[in-house]
Each structure stands twice: as C-alpha cells, then as structure tokens.
C-alpha cells in the first residue's frame, strides 16, 4: 500500500510533531510516500527545492498512491489542492481534524461526501480513526 500523507508546510508547522507521529503509525499499513511532511527540519519556508520540482514530485506521488490521509486542522492551500486532486483521481481519502481546535473545519471538506472526515481529540483517537479507515477500505 502506498500512502500519501498531507499536512501543512507553508501554511504553518504548528503540528509537525503530530504529523511525524501519524506518519510513523501509517507505516504499519504501507509506505508513506510523503514522509518529509513530518520532518521537523522543514520550516514554513518549505524545502530547498524549486516550486516546480516540488509540484512534479508530489503530483507523481499522488498519482502513485493508493490512499490519501490528510491532517486538516491547520488551514493550507496546498493540502486543499492535494485533496481536490485526490478526489479527482478517485483516491480513498481520510481527513483528520482536531476537535479541540478553535477554528472549525471548512465546509468544503466537512460537507464533501467523498471524504471520510474524522474528528480526534488526542493521538490515540487519531490512530483509531486510521485503523477504522484501513479496515473499512479493506472490506
């Protein structure tokens, strides 16, 4: 299983430690193509690559992936774009949103019936949402 993990980079790195823990956990289910999202050395300035290089690489990974897991608590244009691309490609998508965050989840994600949206309050409830997602797509 090839997993595309989406989380905010240039939109803010407040949750990078969480991203890292989620990525490690997702490794139980397959190869996470976008491990760099959980790298604490990547700042909100992004990677030391040209934008075109990042787009081409990430678009290729999206095309190659079997599923998409997105942490959507921190608003990010990039994550929103990735979710739209995943939907257009027909990928199974799990969106994780922290229920204790004071900002609500955008209606464009919350109201999209093609995405599975799971609220979580702590890392263990996020892990349970991931486990349920993979059990459900396995049939």
Going from the C-alpha of 63 to that of each of 4, 85, 88, the distances in angstroms are 9, 9, 11
- Total residues found in the chain within this entry: 139
Q: Is 66 exposed, middle or buried (0-12, 13-18, 19+ CB in 10 A)?
A: middle
The residues facing 133 across adjacent strands are none
The residues facing 119 across adjacent strands are 97
What is this structure's pTM? 0.95
Tell me how far apart the alpha carbons of residues 98 and 96 are, in angstroms, rounded to a whole number.
7
Residue 55 in contact with residue 47, Cβ under 8 Å?
no
pLDDT tens per residue across all 139 residues of the chain: 999 999 999 888 889 999 999 999 999 999 999 999 999 888 777 778 899 999 999 999 999 999 999 999 998 999 999 999 999 999 999 999 999 888 889 999 999 999 999 999 999 999 999 999 999 999 8
In the three-class reduction of DSSP (H, G, I as helix; E, B as strand; rest coil), residue 46 is classed as: strand
Domains of the chain (ranges plus CATH)? 2-138 (3.40.50.450)
């Amino acid at each position: 299983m090839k997993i595309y993990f989406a989380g905010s980079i240039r939109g803010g790195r407040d949750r990078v430690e969480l991203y890292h823990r989620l990525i490690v956990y997702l490794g139980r289910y397959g190869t996470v193509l976008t491990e760099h999202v959980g790298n604490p050395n990547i700042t909100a300035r992004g990677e030391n690559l040209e934008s075109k290089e990042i787009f081409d690489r990430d678009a290729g990974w999206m095309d190659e992936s079997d599923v998409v897991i997105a942490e959507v608590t921190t608003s990010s244009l990039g994550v929103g774009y990735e979710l739209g691309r995943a939907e257009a490609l027909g990928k199974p998508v799990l969106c994780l949103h922290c229920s204790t965050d004071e900002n609500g989840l955008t209606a464009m994600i919350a109201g999209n019936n093609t995405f599975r949206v799971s609220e979580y309050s702590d890392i263990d409830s996020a892990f349970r949402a991931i486990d349920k997602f993979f059990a459900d797509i396995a049939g």
